[in-house]
Amino acid sequence: MIELQGIYKVYDDGHEALKDIHLTFEDGDINVIIGPSGCGKTTTMKLINRLIQPSKGNILIDGKDTSTLSSVELRRSIGYVIQSVGLFPHMTIAQNVGVVPKLLKWEKHRIDERTDELLQLVGLEPDTYRHRFPSELSGGQQQRIGVIRALAAEPSIILVDEPFSALDPISREQLQDELINLQKTIKKTIVFVTHDMDEALKIADNIVLMKDGEVVQQGSPENILRHPANEFVESFIGEKRLRQANNMSTVQDVMRKNPVRASDKRGLAEAMKMMERKQVDTLLIVDKSDELEGYVTIYDVLGHFREEKKKLADIVKPFEHIVKLDTPLTEAIQLMNDYNLPYIPVTNDKEVLQGLVTRGSIVGHIGELYPPEEQGVL
Ligand SMILES: Nc1ncnc2c1ncn2[C@@H]1O[C@H](COP(=O)(O)OP(=O)(O)O)[C@@H](O)[C@H]1O
Ligand SMILES: [Mg+2]
């Protein structure tokens, strides 16, 4: 457990980076510190790590004031993964992973065994990777080495400072999953810094939101989503996510934009061609100002096909149910359930077609809200 008690940090130039910080990070949790650039996240990490000293206040690790710990004790108990990976380019992967154990004067065979064990833990075959240099690894692989290097001396605390921010979205998702899985096995106290709310909500047991050197709110992701402390937190979470969390999504959040539409002036052969081209069995029919008139199915078109003079305007059928942009999603779902509708059109106040809520778009929206728990590669 880590405790920060009344921490202030004033840099030499007089900049007050942290003001009266009180925080507790429990064992076994992934604690995420999040906030805009310059709010004091890295400063907090460096203080825990004793790379810099607080101007005022105490930091305790498992009840012991860190100012009383020797640098060897600190290195043993804390692993640090930094923003830029920071692997030593002229050292092999094995040498990189073994840096802290070597400093702690572990015997060579113990370091070798530990290195192989850790490489296997993140799915990198030791025989293949042990003797490679960092430049011979992909960005995601380098970041994995950064993580296992921090784990090497079996610290009880792991500090990670924006480790995945330079990675492409897919490697990033994968490493997040791996970290969650890894934590299930190792159960360390993890403090993880990010400025990405999606990342925080995905991995955190406990979120600390910071602004201008102060803690604005601390709590579980669920609690922060449901009870944001103020407007800053709300804006940081984002309006859309808040509405989703509170089940307040509107059809506008969910609808498919640009549904296939046809002008009521078109003939039936044209309509057939269009359905074929767009691979749909229904067309939404609009007038010249894009106001929604109704729909026409492939059966309607086939039924009147011999009547050459007929336009879509002559056979269009009105919708029984139409929703507005600000209709709550729950209401639209209710309608679709009650009347067994495959979809509902969305119009604005002037009856102009805006989109379509389909069963697929609702499933997609719910998927966004509750990402699947993917298994990592561990
Ligand atoms: N060595 C330093 N000297 C003076 N100011 C610093 C120093 N390091 C960081 N700062 C300032 O302290 C504030 C917090 O920095 P930092 O903790 O790195 O923010 P974050 O990691 O949240 O982006 C920033 O305004 C930064 O410019
Ligand atoms: Mg930083």
Domain-located, residue 378: no
Parallel, antiparallel or unpaired: strands 206-211 and 56-61: unpaired
Domain CATH for 282: 3.10.580.10
Together in a domain, 180 and 299: no
Q: Which of 343, 220, 371, 352 is nearest to 280 (CA)?
A: 343
Q: How far is the CA of 46 from the centre of ligand 2 (A)?
A: 10
Q: Are residues 145 and 45 in the same domain?
A: yes
Q: What is the pLDDT of residues 225-234, one digit of tens each?
A: 888 999 999 9
17 lines ligand 1 (CB under 6 A): yes
Q: Tens digits of per-residue pLDDT, 283-292?
A: 999 999 999 9
Residues by chain with Cβ below 5 Å of ion ligand 2:
41-42
- Say yes or no: CB of residue 43 within 6 Å of ligand 1: yes
Dist CA 264 CA 353 (whole Å): 14
Per residue in 237-272, pLDDT (tens digit) is 887 777 777 777 889 988 999 888 999 999 999 999
Q: Which amino acid is at 164?
A: F
**CB 355 less than 6 A from any atom of ligand 1:** no
> What residue owns the CA closest to ligand 1's atom 7?
11
Give nearest CA residue, ligand 1 atom 11.
17
Task: For residues 106 and 232, state if they share a domain.
Answer: yes
How would residue 373 be classed by pLDDT, with cut points 50, 70 and 90? very low
Half-sphere exposure in the Cβ direction for 368 (13 Å, CA): 14
What pLDDT is attached to residue 367?
66
DSSP string across 161-224: ESTTTTS-HHHHHHHHHHHHHHHHHH--EEEEEES-HHHHHHH-SEEEEEETTEEEEEE-HHHH
Do strands 56-61 and 2-10 pair parallel, antiparallel, or not at all (unpaired)? antiparallel
pLDDT at position 377, please?
38
* Tens-place pLDDT, residues 20-33: 999 999 999 999 99
Around Cβ 285, how many Cβ atoms within 10 Å? 26
- The pLDDT score that the predictor gives to residue 175 is 79
For residue 102, give the H/E element and its range.
Answer: helix 99-103
175 shares a domain with 283: no
Q: Give the number of whichever ligand sits closest to the CA of residue 33.
A: 1
Q: Are residues 203 and 308 in the same domain?
A: no
Ligand 1 centre and the CA of 210: distance in Å?
A: 13
Task: Please indicate whether residue 36, judged by its CB atom, sits closer than 6 Å to ligand 1.
Answer: no
- Of 245, 268, 290, the one marking the end of a domain is 245
Cα dihedral angle (176, 180, 183, 185), rounded to 10 degrees? Answer: -120
Domain count, the chain: 2
Task: Please give the residue range of the domain that contains residue 30.
Answer: 2-245
Which DSSP string corresponds to 6-47? EEEEE-TTS-EEEEEEEEEE-TT-EEEEE-STTSSHHHHHHH
Lookup result for tokens 């309006």: 239
Q: Is 38 in the pocket of ligand 1 (CB under 6 A)?
A: yes
